[in-house]
Structure formats: C-alpha cells, structure tokens
C-alpha cells in the first residue's frame, strides 16, 4: 500500500465516496475523513504522486488545526471562484498550500509569505515521514 508523508492510501471507496467521485471525475483525489488518501478511479491521467502529496498536506493541516496567516491574491480568489473554496478562507489557504507542496500550478502566482508557509508545511511533513 502506497503512502505519502506517512499517510496511507485506502484503495476501497465507501459508497458515498464512490458516488461523489463518479459525479466529479475532475476531482482526482481526496483527504478522506478517516485520515487516509483516496484516489478517484473515474479520473483520467492522474499524477498519483502530486495528488497524494497534495492530500497528505491537507490531512496534516487538518490534524494540526493549521490556520495559515497569509493573504490570498485577487487572482487566486478569481481562480477559485465557483468552487467549494470560494466562501471558506481557511480551506482556500489550505488548498493553495497543498498545491504549492505538490507542484500544482493552479495555486497561481504565489506570494513570498505563501512560500514561507509552504516551506514550513514541507518541513513538518518531512519530519512526520521520518
């Protein structure tokens, strides 16, 4: 079984997860409520390492009640308009950090403070993995 920063991948989906993924093939994976990473079997061309690192970052931030203290740029806000992150500032900041960690360019043009937070998160993920 694969793991990312020490977080396990659960291969078996629960019924609700399967239904959600079937309806949302654009969602490649998820930080599941049980503390595991799950991948969407209905997604095409998934970069499992990038998605796994992204979701592990989210799990760590969730477990540690991380509330990032940085500003989100207007461009980033616009890029996430119409998503589940639009009206949840903490979730938006978590997704930006997770995407920086996984190398996902959809994080947008990141600020120096966002990079500082991403470096801090990366350090903590690497400590967890030892």
Which residues partner with 4 through β-bridges?
Answer: 7
Q: Where are the beta strands (DSSP E) in the chain?
A: 3-4, 7-8, 29-31, 37-39
Average pLDDT for the chain:
94
CA-based max dimension of the chain:
41
Question: Distance (Å, rounded) from C-alpha 3 to C-alpha 15?
Answer: 22
Query: What's the confidence (pLDDT) of residue 130?
Result: 63
Residue 129 has pLDDT above 90, yes or no: no
pLDDT, tens digit, for every residue of 13-54?
A: 999 999 999 999 999 999 999 999 999 999 999 999 999 999
Tell me what percent of the residues of the chain surpass a pLDDT of 90. 91
pLDDT, tens digit, for every residue of 60-75?
A: 999 999 999 999 999 9
pLDDT, tens digit, for every residue of 78-93?
A: 999 998 899 999 999 9
Query: What's the confidence (pLDDT) of residue 124?
Result: 95
Question: Distance (Å, rounded) from C-alpha 10 to C-alpha 25?
Answer: 18
């Amino acid at each position: 079984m694969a793991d990312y920063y020490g977080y396990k991948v659960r291969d078996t989906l629960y019924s609700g997860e399967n239904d959600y993924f079937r309806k949302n093939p654009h969602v490649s994976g998820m930080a599941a409520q049980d503390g595991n990473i799950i991948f969407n079997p209905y997604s095409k061309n998934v970069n499992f390492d990038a998605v796994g690192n992204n979701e592990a970052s989210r799990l760590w931030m969730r477990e540690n009640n991380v509330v990032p203290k940085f500003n989100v740029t207007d461009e980033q806000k616009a890029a996430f308009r119409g998503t589940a992150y639009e009206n949840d500032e903490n979730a938006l900041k978590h997704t930006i950090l997770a995407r920086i960690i996984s190398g996902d360019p959809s994080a947008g043009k990141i600020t120096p403070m966002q990079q500082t937070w991403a470096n801090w998160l990366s350090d903590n993920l690497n400590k967890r993995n030892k």
